[in-house]
Structure 1
Amino acid sequence: MNYLKLKQDVQAGRVAPVYFMYGTELFLMEDLIQDILSVTLSDEERDMNVSSYSLTDVPIEAALEEAETVPFFGSKRVVILKDAALFTSQKLDVEHDVKRLEQYILNPVPETVLLIMAPYEKLDERKKITKLIKKESLVLEAKPLDEGEAKAWLSSLASELQVEMDEKAIETLLGMTGLRLTQLASEMNKLALYVGEGGIIRSEDVTLLVAKTLDQNIFDLIDFAINQRTHQALSLYHELLKQKEEPLKLLALLTRQFRIMYQVKELGRRGYTPNQMAKPLKIHPYVAKLAGKKAASMSDQLLYSLIEKAADTEFAIKSGKVDKVLALELFLLTMGSRESVG
């Protein structure tokens, strides 16, 4: 089921007896679990009625015994099963009584909410237990949110924090964090405190309070250098050096970004959407979208020239021909010049 729909159902008090969460976006799993705990148990009840087990250490039958135990001083019990690799093709360190789990899934205890976490990209869909859990439980595929989902999630989070957020502020925040959900949640809490209950978060608030990621700084560095805003490019470069960023690392990130922009342009000409570009390029669709916007103002010849020039700069540094700090500075100075394309 869609993450936002699951979240809304839980917040409305519609909690199922068994949840199965799988995928690579652990933040979504943990966020849903916190919502379930909030509506299921009071703070006082949590100490006695929440149990968590890692299935890399504990056999499933031991955890299910806990799930079948009557709650203490409350009407509900929550049992969390982590690292549920038994739904994958991985070799298991602990032997599990899978039949016992099958029986529980088909006849769950009404007073217990069983949360099963399988933080893996791929499941073994051939296994009977995998087919059964996906059929009989509420399923969350915890994959990275796309741009639309991320915007909806931010709007929902703003409501929870009792603030509003305009569309431009959402765009600015997504651009500065690159859809990293843990960082987004942290920054939203900071912004909500800044504007206060009932306040409106605007783009200028985001720019003022949110620290740029290294990827965002690399984007800015390219922008400044290509558009011959030399003073800004060098100021940002030296600020990154003060933050202990290595010139060779920065050069590698610049080169990677040039390649992504070149590839995005080529795939765009072939009719690919950002979503379709994401998998072959191993980037988030939103990153592909941003790269496409940036690349639109740059010719293929310029991008190819910058990739070549970056390789030459790397060779010069590694062969000891030039100081690494000076080499990258010279590279930035020539990025927007005619020599870069000829």
Structure 2
Amino acid sequence: MTGTVAKAIAEVEQGRRYPVYLLYGDEFLAKEGAKGIIGTLVPPERQSLSVEVVSEDNDLASLPIRLNTLPLFGGVKVVVVYDSKAFLSKFNLQGVAQKSQDAWLAGESERSVRLFLQIVAAAGEGEGFLERAARGEVLDPEWARVLSIERDPEAEAWLREVARTAVADRLAIPEAAGAGLARIYEDSIQRGIPAYASLILTTEVVDERRSLFKRISAAGFVIDCGVRSRRTWDTQMNPEAARAKIREMVSAAGKSIDEEAVASILNRAGSTMRGLVSEMEKLLLYVGARPAIRTADVLEVFRHSREANIFDLTNAVSSRDAGRALLALRSLLTQREPAPLILNVLAGEIRNLIIARSALDRWLDGRLDPAISFETFRVRVLPRLKEPREGDDGSAARLLEMTPFRAYHLLRGASRFSLARLIQGLEAIHETDLTLKTSGHPEALLLEQLLIKICPGG
């Protein structure tokens, strides 16, 4: 059975309980969902005696005994394993690497390192790989085999930092991962979980081809807690998942929020639900007793976050506003954001603007009013991108795979540049990258000069 946390809870309330529950995807949502199911299965006053949390690293061998131990005062016995590594395989290491990188970008260092060590274990690597990664000496074939993610300055900085942390703190590589752990769970499910018990597992990434996943899907209840699409270039949360969490928290606080303020949060939310919740808690504290959350409140609270400054930088570049771009750059440098990562962000934005410019020329006759409203764009412009065109280069398809608001933002930005100017901007980024690596010139000065080249006349 597959479904949502709400559906799983509703079925428990109607008298149907499953022997095993698997929640995977966003780490925060999976754990919160597990706690919601536990709270429905076992009353709070009985949880200390009827709910057991098992460490997969230290105590998994006791799982069968724990499942078969009757609860002291009757009712349901629940055994929980958080952050299981049993669903890892060489086929989903890319997803785990991406989540580790997301956690690193969100400042969740401990979680980022934990996920990285899971990758190392599942790939069959040891301390030698950790030491090479810490020194920045991982060769391309090894990178592709172990990590499977695109190699760029941001990914290289992530790998060096998490590997250095693991080496400096002498953290152990997990001894068992993937198939070895999966067999323990499969044996318990195959023998039959007692009628009075339920096993609850959470994990961030699953390989749906694993027999354990298939067995749980057949006998239990599987919940996808993902907040990102499965497209590898998507780095932000699914807007609807983020929007729902924003509305939920605002409503619980007895406040209101307008759509413009919600959009401002979405643009600055980052890629993890935990990060969004943390920022929303700050926002609610900032608003205090006022009944309504305004856009100005969002801009004030979120202005110091990494995601907000990156959004402000890319938004200013798309608007050809050199002044705002320089302000965002200085904020990122104040936060000690590495220059190679800033260059990577700029290169990604320019590449997306090139895609948008190509679609603009082929599907929209090369023109789009930058002042067009989103609603007008959605009704009148977006359908035109779906029309067949001779010489289709795939640019419209790439835009349609993004969220409508992202496509709207990119096309408006592309209308301010010629294709030649965008290509020149990309070349300037590559030249700046080379200068950073081969000269002793100040990073801040080189990046400022680059922005002025990209945004001439801004």
State the TM-score bracket (shorter-chain normalisation): 0.7 to 0.9
Greater relative CO (CA pairs within 8 A, separation 6+):
2
Alignment correspondent of 1:158: 250
The alignment-based identity, stated in percent, is 21
- Post-superposition CA distance 1:273-324 (Å, at most 9, x none): 65735xxxxxxx5895476356443443332211101111122222217432
- Distance in 1 (CA, whole Å) between partners of 2:5 and 2:408 is 24
Match of 2:312 among 220, 229, 233: 220
- Post-superposition CA distance 1:4-31 (Å, at most 9, x none): 6447738978773344335442222111
Distance 1:71 1:95, change over 3 A: same
Alignment of 1:84-233 (within 5 A): 84-87=84-87, 89=89, 90-92=178-180, 96=184, 98-104=186-192, 108-110=194-196, 112-125=197-210, 127=211, 129-145=212-228, 146-195=238-287, 199-224=291-316, 227=319, 229-233=321-325
Alignment correspondent of 1:318: 437
Alignment correspondent of 2:81: 81
- Distance in 2 (CA, whole Å) between partners of 1:286 and 1:19 is 38
- Distance in 2 (CA, whole Å) between partners of 1:211 and 1:95 is 48
Alignment correspondent of 2:69: 69
Where structure 1 has 5 or more consecutive residues not aligned to the other structure, the ranges are 278-284
Count of residue correspondences:
326
8 A Cα contact 1:50 1:77, kept in partner? yes
The 3-state SS of whatever aligns with 2:192 is helix
What one-letter code is carried by the residue in structure 1 that aligns with 2:49? M
- Post-superposition CA distance 1:253-286 (Å, at most 9, x none): 2123222333466577734265735xxxxxxx58
8 A Cα contact 1:21 1:140, kept in partner? yes
Alignment correspondent of 2:51: 50
Distance 1:28 1:63, change over 3 A: same
8 A Cα contact 2:83 2:203, kept in partner? yes
8 A Cα contact 1:22 1:121, kept in partner? no
- Post-superposition CA distance 1:171-213 (Å, at most 9, x none): 1111111353112112222333444579333322222222454
Where structure 2 has 5 or more consecutive residues not aligned to the other structure, the ranges are 90-177, 229-237, 360-384, 386-392
Match of 1:276 among 401, 424, 430: 401
Alignment correspondent of 1:281: none
What one-letter code is carried by the residue in structure 2 that aligns with 1:243? Q
Alignment correspondent of 2:133: none
- Post-superposition CA distance 1:202-256 (Å, at most 9, x none): 3222222224543432332244356554443333333332222333432232123
Q: CA deviation at 1:52?
A: 1.6
What one-letter code is carried by the residue in structure 2 that aligns with 1:308? E
Match of 2:410 among 274, 285, 292: 292
Q: CA deviation at 1:76?
A: 3.7
The 3-state SS of whatever aligns with 2:397 is coil
Q: CA deviation at 1:73?
A: 4.9
